[in-house]
Copies of this chain bind each other. A is one copy, B any other.
Amino acid sequence: MINVAIMGYGTIGSGVFEMIVQNQDILKDKIGDDIRVKKILDLRNFPGTPVEHLIVHDITDITEDAEIDIVVETMGGTNPAFAFVKECLLKGKHAATSNKALVAAHGTELLEVARENHVNFFFEASVGGGIPIIRALVDSYAGEAIEEITGIMNGTTNFILTKMDEEGEDFREALNEAQDLGYAERNPDADIEGQDTCRKIAILASLATGKEVDYEYIYTEGITNIDKTDFEYAQKMGTSIKLFGSALIEDDKLFAYVCPVMIGKPHPLYSVRDVYNGILVKGNMVGETMLYGSGAGKFPTASAVVADIISIIKHKDENDKMILSQTLTKSYLPKEKVGKESKWVTFYTLLAEINIAK
């Protein structure tokens, strides 16, 4: 019996619980053991629901429970997620998270703590929801010199831009529609200002370079200045406007940015519409590849967390040998941010050059 604890029973956390219940036969088949959610940490009580008896309110109920092998962190934010995950790792529990803010801010330290305690810290769900981009970078493209990662990695902004492009809506109309459909939060700044994409490209750039990339040094521009006129011009040029997060790696330099770009039909990311995500990876041997799918949402994101749980169980006796936990190392970063506001940025001149030399 594998015992899992879920910290944070919101959209993703409940998705993980429901997937473990619904696909339990498949999971048992794959891991050769039963898996159950033993405890759920949340401030709420969920009376009258199937999880009522699993709820705990005190983190020590999880950290001090020797039966719990794996914790899932789906709280979001860094406080108290960071302290809770760190404590679990210190207590010898493996962890899987969907929390890009946590990984972008504290990923290196948590990987170090995990390694020291012979457990794993996995975060497939933190970027691209159900798109297996982390595993692709860590396993499938492990032998590649990665030259570029460029993605549409935020479903909210892609939905808004698609509505503006295809139905001629203006930014406010499209944002309101996204909020009505539950695709955008009441306070949508993290999405529309590009901060969500910024944290994701920082995580991917870190994995591609093997160096910690501080997201604060990445030039980040959202979509709030895009208006109807921009789309009229874009359409006349046979292009569409997408919010890209991109990392370009040349020799020992990393150029990373988040900003809206115009791309034409031949671009592999052109057809990524609506709330979908697409992430293009260019390696020196494999050439251009692209992964596409639901970048957010309850079950696609839960699926990535469950994939991490399965990996943890498959490899539980060789934790400290996983390359994932040896990849990120501290790096020297430039002292000053470079970059000024510009609607159509000329990338190389505005970007911070981040030195990734060893």
Q: Which residues of A contact B (CB under 8 A)?
A: 15, 19, 22-23, 26-27, 29-30, 124, 130-132, 135-136, 139-145, 210, 268, 270-271, 283-294, 297, 299-300, 302-304, 306-307, 309-311, 314-315, 317-318, 321-323
Contact = CB atoms under 8 A, between A and B. Distances in A.
21 contacts: A19-B143, A22-B285, A27-B143, A30-B142, A130-B287, A131-B289, A132-B132, A132-B141, A140-B304, A142-B311, A144-B303, A286-B299, A286-B303, A287-B297, A287-B300, A288-B293, A289-B294, A290-B293, A314-B321, A314-B322, A317-B318
A133 to B, nearest CB: 9
Contact of A287 (B26, B124, B140, B294): B294
B290 A292 contact: yes
Identify which of A26, A268, A286, A307 gathers the most chain B CB atoms within 10 Å of its CB.
A286
Contacts of A143: 19, 23, 26-27, 30, 303, 306-307, 309-310
Contact of A283 (B15, B140, B303, B318): B303
Given A23-B144, A141-B303, 15 more contacts: A23-B143, A26-B144, A26-B145, A30-B143, A139-B139, A139-B307, A140-B304, A141-B307, A142-B307, A142-B310, A142-B311, A286-B299, A286-B303, A286-B304, A315-B315
